[in-house]
Amino acid sequence: METLFYDDKRARPPMQRLWREAVSAATPMRQRAILAAARAAPAGDGHPVLLVPGFLRGEGYMKPLTRFLEARGYAVHGWRLGVNLGPTERALDGLERRLEAIVERAGRKVSLIGHSLGGAFARELAKQQPGYVRQLIVLASPIRLPTASQLEPLYRMLARWHSRHSSSLYAGFNLPPAVPVTALYTLSDGIVAWQSCLEAEGPRRENIEVKGAHSTMARSPAAWRIIADRLAQHEGEWRPYGA
């Protein structure tokens, strides 16, 4: 079975960066930085936002971002599929059903935000259901092949439970979705090759560097400020960040 993470055409991040990732993940968020991000963030319009956690993460990891966005006025939804173990049938089918249910209930398009592998899932969902998606924001997500990761051995261990349709999913992986895309990446990524976290250039697509670690991108106040700015745009009036 083909896998997303590993390809010998691209080097894995250096092993020493894993230590920084571990330290960053264990370091509490600074309250001052949280408050600064909140003060700088514009209020939202209440539209629904669906969050997708990264590989081996669950909804609990996305709680700080959830609280931040709810305070801005958004209707934030978790994926309700437990820990992300990769592209299982349950994850792929369940995520699509979750999006459809939110759209049906809210009567509005949904903004998708995914961290790491969750961003890759959200991106494929945006391709399948562009009429339901307002915009896509991916956080340190391996969205272009080839890529490489220090987590590749774990990913392969779980591959026996992955969907038999994974090969066809990866076949069109490099094609961008037809919705606005903002890809956040970090040059010091210790989990996946940062080059594979860049979206293809084109209209309504942008790549923005954020300082920090891969593992803490979803709870980075610097990333939050960008996310809040992107979500605050009027539907159908997308512009590049900082324009």
Give the pLDDT confidence score for residue 239 in this predicted structure.
95
Domain covering 16-231, topology: Rossmann fold (3.40.50)
For the chain, the helix, strand and coil percentages under 3-state DSSP, each to the nearest 5: 40, 15, 45
Each domain of the chain, given as residue ranges in start order, spans 16-231
For the chain, which residues score pLDDT lower than 70?
1-10, 18-19, 23-24, 26, 29-38, 166-171, 243
Give the pLDDT confidence score for residue 163 in this predicted structure.
85
d(CA 54, CA 68): 18
- The token duo for 67 is 């609280």
Q: Is 146 left (phi over 0), alpha (psi -120 to 50) or beta?
A: beta
Give the pLDDT confidence score for residue 161 in this predicted structure.
86
Give the pLDDT confidence score for residue 159 in this predicted structure.
84
Predicted structure pTM score: 0.90
Give the pLDDT confidence score for residue 5 in this predicted structure.
52
